Structure 1
């Protein structure tokens, strides 16, 4: 009987450790999609320093491909896609587009190991007959030039995204329940001291809770280009972090989710003394696009729908939209011809820009 076929898309710190964990367990056949580091990985593999799995030099996944399409061509249909890429729907290429070649109707289960709210909705719309699962990981893993450092025990929380629009909810959730149990078994090491896979019975609440951290600390540090602790020294805890967290708690409540106010202190003190830079700040400093829409844009859509006032988050979002605009232009995602705007009223700029961006993306 053949083993389940698993495709890991995204070879950053989280994706590489996920591929390693699945490979070590020997319960499935693993393929890792590696883009920019493909040639290095093929020749030399990864050097891994993991608090979970130890030090491993020159490790290579069972199968490595440069694209999702190559993975399908060489290694056939997949039972699971573990998606660990950043989710940047405003960056030109969506996550749905990235994995589309590897999705087989009904067969392939899609597991989103990503930040943010509302990330499941476009997946469910594009692949209505495929189970979509959530996986929230607390692993502290980075990949720099194929040197992977994993600082926290591999612990994940896997659950089923709500799917209100499926025509046969009973059949869907029956399938989803079987798939979440199977994937947890695939990822769980036989020795639970090695890693720990938990069932997340309330995915919606878990994701809102993580946003208490991401919507405040990630966004503010990226906007001002300061690590968390320097922001705190400059009084950001009271002027920005806590007020922004309060707004997330209010928005979540309007969405039927009660978050404990004590969560604010947990996240504010999570890195005391470490002078660390959250992922959005790291992306900003590298000139890479940020996960702005899933961390701030989507929660603010919920706030608007439910008439929740969120002035701090709104200002952060609109300012970061301008920062994202700058990065998009630097990376060639958008192009601005200044001559097009010289004799146009500034109120008409958004319409002209939208038309130009649409032309580029097409």
Structure 2
């Protein structure tokens, strides 16, 4: 994996904090991948803040965003392309600067609100496609029939909401045609996937449920789409998180 895109990533900066910053600044990322082998990736620049990233006048082609956080950036920078991105990687960071990766490497990318753009959409879209080409190459709850059914219901809700919000049929990650195909593919993975929220939970850190769950829920409500399963999972996650964060302060 690193060999395929490392050369095109030399101008990239990586935001890191605390011990991760020190480790990556000194030694880079040590990537252990079942799919692509082991290698060390050294970002062109490692910084702690956005201000530090642009302090030397560096110009960046893209800033990669999650879903549901684009509006403030679009309002402040109406002439700048914004790339919304969903990442699905079976990776974990067991220690600062060390990345363990399995076999899944999927990124779903697209321009945010291209109809309201003040730039050449076709040109930027082509560059985004080029970026995607450079990078091409689960919770293990599926043993439980009840959990598998819940996961499928969550997927159906988010797909319905996504298609309503965008006004078009969604392209499934990995070229799959329906939720059951994604679930079956996950069943066949050689090792469990440890998503970022699970890693945060185990470390008793704040979880990124706002971007992953709350923002899609709010978008669904805005467009009149009912998402009761997503709302239930979000309520349970925030309750659990609040409990352990409160206890850690005692």
TM range (shorter): 0.7 to 0.9
Q: Which residue of 2 aligns with 1:286?
A: 203
Equivalent of 2:21, from 38, 49, 66?
Answer: 38
Larger Rg: 1
Determine if the alignment matches structure 1 residue 267 to structure 2 residue 207: no
CA distance in 2, matches of 1:306, 1:234: 31
Q: Which residue of 1 aligns with 2:92?
A: 142
1:135·1:156 contact (CA, 8 Å) conserved in 2? Answer: yes
Which structure 2 residues correspond to residues 39-58 of structure 1 after superposition, within 5 A?
39-50=22-33, 54-57=37-40
1:132 shift after superposition: 0.3
Which structure 2 residues correspond to residues 95-114 of structure 1 after superposition, within 5 A?
109-112=62-65, 114=66
Determine if the alignment matches structure 1 residue 151 to structure 2 residue 151: no
Change (3 A) 1:249 1:55: closer
For structure 1, the 5+ residue unaligned runs are: 1-16, 81-108, 190-194, 198-216, 219-226, 336-362
For CA contacts below 8 A with separation 6 or more, give which structure has more relative contact order: 2
Determine if the alignment matches structure 1 residue 133 to structure 2 residue 78: no
1:183 shift after superposition: 5.2
1:265 shift after superposition: 0.5
2:206·2:241 contact (CA, 8 Å) conserved in 1? Answer: yes
2:14·2:45 contact (CA, 8 Å) conserved in 1? Answer: yes
Determine if the alignment matches structure 1 residue 160 to structure 2 residue 111: yes
Q: Which residue of 2 aligns with 1:206?
A: none
Q: Which residue of 2 aligns with 1:241?
A: 151
Change (3 A) 1:257 1:321: farther
1:154 shift after superposition: 5.2
1:52 shift after superposition: 6.5
Which structure 2 residues correspond to residues 191-340 of structure 1 after superposition, within 5 A?
196=136, 227-229=140-142, 232-233=143-144, 235-238=146-149, 240-255=150-165, 256-258=167-169, 263-272=178-187, 274-329=191-246
Change (3 A) 1:250 1:180: closer
1:263 shift after superposition: 1.7
CA RMSD of aligned residues (A): 3.6
Q: TM-score, normalised by structure 2?
A: 0.74
